[in-house]
């Protein structure tokens, strides 16, 4: 009876590792989709410390369309080199080939926030006072283009480049909170 249980447990662990580990296939696939990648070395103490958090992250982001994976940089040095990995662990988020290195706290909540921020569009819309209040609570700093017209191309370009650092929004004048004043209004 206990032997059957042991076989099931080993089978589950094996499947989990196969799903989460990636090597040279990353180079063939990272141009499409969303990838949250941890580059690690098996002997690295910091990597071992991050392992259970990374496992939880994979479960938390399972249905988001983000591929949460890890690469053993010692087994795949060419893959690590492609992403300028110089220390362990190195964490990157890749969106349609654009690579964003993560340098924030290594907590589950911070990693989830980073991944969700980069998953969405680089500029989001604040369409109600409730959305404004939520955005102000969760983001500091944040940048908002206010107006009836679409934001200029420069705003969109900057938002795309800095999306990993902060949030960018658009809003209409009519939904501005009363304590925010815009010059020229």
Q: Which residues are catalytic?
A: 44, 47
Residue 168 β-bridge partners: 143
CA–CA distance, 87 with 39 (Å, rounded to integer):
9
Contact call for residues 135 and 96 (beta carbons, < 8 A):
no
Q: Which two tokens stand for residue 42?
A: 């098996």
Q: How far, in whole angstroms, is CA 110 from its chain's centroid?
A: 9
Could you give the CA distance from residue 119 to residue 182 in angstroms, rounded to a whole number?
A: 30
In angstroms, rounded to a whole number, what is the distance separating the alpha carbons of residues 54 and 78? 23
User: Where does 31-120 have alpha helices with state H?
Assistant: 45-60, 77-82, 108-119
Spatial distance between the Cα atoms of 170 and 109, rounded to a whole number of angstroms = 26
Could you tell me if 22 and 71 are in contact, meaning their C-beta atoms sit under 8 angstroms apart? yes
Q: What is the distance between the alpha carbons of residues 20 and 72, in angstroms, rounded to a whole number? A: 11
């Amino acid at each position: 009876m206990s032997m059957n249980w042991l076989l099931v447990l080993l089978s589950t662990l094996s499947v989990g590792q196969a799903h989460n580990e990636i090597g040279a296939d990353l180079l063939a696939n990272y141009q499409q989709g969303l990838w949250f990648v941890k580059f690690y070395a098996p002997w690295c103490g910091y990597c071992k410390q991050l392992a259970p958090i990374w496992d939880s992250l994979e479960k938390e982001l399972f249905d988001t369309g983000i591929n949460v994976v890890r690469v053993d940089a010692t087994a795949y040095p060419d893959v690590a080199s492609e992403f300028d990995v110089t220390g362990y662990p190195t964490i990157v988020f890749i969106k349609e080939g654009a690579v964003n290195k993560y340098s924030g706290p290594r907590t589950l909540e911070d990693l989830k926030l980073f991944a969700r921020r980069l998953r969405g569009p680089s500029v989001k819309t604040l369409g109600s006072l409730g959305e404004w209040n939520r955005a102000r609570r969760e983001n500091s700093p944040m940048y908002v283009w206010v107006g009836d017209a679409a934001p200029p191309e420069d705003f969109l370009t900057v938002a795309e480049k800095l999306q990993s650092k902060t949030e960018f929004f658009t809003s209409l004048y009519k939904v501005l909170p009363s304590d925010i004043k815009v010059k020229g209004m």
